[in-house]
Amino acid sequence: MKKTIPLTRKVQRDIWLHQHPENCRDPNIRFLVAEWERLPGFGIGAQLAGMCGLLAIAVNEKRVLVTSYYNRADHDGCKGSLRSTLERGIVTTKDNYTSKEIWTGRTPRVWGEPWRFLQPTTEINGSLVASHRKMDRRWWRAQAIRYLMRFQTQYMCGLMNVARNAAFGKEVAKMVLTSLSNEWPKDFGIKRRSDIEEFVWSNNRPWIPRPLLSMHVRMGDKACEMKVVEFEGYMRLADRIRQRFPHLKSIWLSTEMQEVINNSKLYMNWDFYYTNVTRQVGNMTMATYEASLGRKTSTNYPLVNFLMATEADFFVGALGSTWCFLIDGMRNTGGKVMAGYLSVNKDRFW
């Protein structure tokens, strides 16, 4: 049974080779220097979706995509700068491509039309979505976001470790204490790890409660772009999944709304986990909300939520939201196709 959408392994390899020429100074190598969208109304999801479109343009035009200044990385936590200058074969985005070309650009046909073979795994209003008008874009964005998010920096890994410890640390500590026979081992932390611990078990990912359901609840100012559904609607879908998988009880909840966090406490038969961050109260715009958090926090916590969501076993969200659309793309390229995705609404372009 296939665990990813068609051609994922080949496409990821081909994009890597395309983006990493052996000699960047080769005069035959051409570049597309892309600027990240910086308008206040553009969230990280919109920025990433735009970059997926630019990667498509680069592949179609046989150019290497190079990104320039990223405003969200311009804070004390992130270090580094562009230390080299490209001089030949450069095309910049602002001068050559419209927003429409970037957002709705032509999906690369290098690999044929694999989206025609997508297995329906998304349910909306109780029905599997077999096809829609933008099957090609859905397939490509899944491939592009997988490539763009393929490698976590040391800084990002540190953020993830802090988030996991805050969310799951007490549970892990209780399990460790319960596993001890009588007292704390005297040689703990001193004893050399065995070969199997060093070379085999060390490859296991950090502990999270399994099975885990990812739920992203998008409300607030998103009503101008999609049908907004109350938290109860998301929970009905979660209950629907648990009818089939009764051992499911844990939810990683990501949302900008404090109201959603408050309402989650009414569902006593579920265990909710979420990041500890100030959330929106009332009808505040996303731009105003992000400004109130500051650049560092408004960048770090969404990325933590995104990566935690991709580690889940089941998925509930609103595919009318770009953020949910990208989470779904990571599901489809991360070995979790058959987990399915239950959505409270559909993308407005389908």
Question: pLDDT by residue for the chain (350 residues), tens digit each?
Answer: 579 999 999 999 999 999 999 998 999 999 999 888 877 778 899 999 999 999 999 999 999 999 887 778 777 777 655 433 333 344 555 567 777 788 777 899 999 999 999 999 999 989 999 988 899 999 999 999 999 998 778 889 999 999 999 999 999 999 988 888 777 777 766 678 889 988 898 888 899 999 999 999 988 666 556 678 999 999 999 999 999 999 999 999 999 999 999 999 999 999 999 999 999 988 788 888 888 999 899 999 999 999 999 999 999 999 999 999 999 999 999 999 999 999 999 877 66
What pLDDT shows up at residue 310? 95
Residues paired with 250 in a beta bridge: 212, 271
Q: Answer yes or no: are the C-beta atoms of 333 and 146 closer than 8 Å.
A: yes
Residue 31: give the domain boundaries. Answer: 8-116
Is 59 a domain residue? yes
Number of independent structural domains in the chain: 1
Residue written as token pair 């998301």: 234
Could you tell me if residue 111 is inside a domain?
yes
Q: Residue 37: what pLDDT?
A: 80
In a domain, 75, yes or no: yes
- What's the whole-model pTM score? 0.90
Predicted local confidence at residue 254, as pLDDT: 97
Residue 224 pLDDT: 58
Going from the C-alpha of 291 to that of each of 41, 171, 258, 261, 295, the distances in angstroms are 11, 34, 17, 21, 7
Q: Does residue 273 belong to any structural domain of this protein?
A: no
Nearby residues of 95 by Cβ (< 8 Å), 6 or more positions away: none
Question: For the purposes of burial, counting CB atoms within 10 Å of the CB of 300, is it exposed (0-12), middle (13-18) or buried (19 or more)?
Answer: buried
In a domain, 41, yes or no: yes
- Locate all alpha helices (DSSP H) within 200-349, ordered by sequence: 231-244, 258-264, 286-293, 295-310, 322-333
What's the pLDDT at 68?
A: 82
Longest dimension (CA), the chain: 70
Quick check: is 46 in a domain?
A: yes
Token pair recorded at residue 271 = 């265990």
User: Whose CA is closest to 308, among 323, 319, 291, 321?
Assistant: 323
Which one, of 1, 49, 65, lies nearest residue 225 by Cα? Answer: 49
Task: Tell me whether strands 127-128 and 90-92 are parallel, antiparallel or unpaired.
Answer: unpaired
For residue 102, is it within any domain? Answer: yes
Instruction: Give the contacts of 256 (CB within 8 A, at least 6 positions apart).
Output: 218, 219, 220, 279, 280, 286, 289
Within 10 A of 23 (CB to CB), how many other CB atoms are there? 8
Pair of tokens at residue 275: 């990041």
Q: Bridge partners of 272? A: 251
Q: Is residue 70 part of a domain?
A: yes
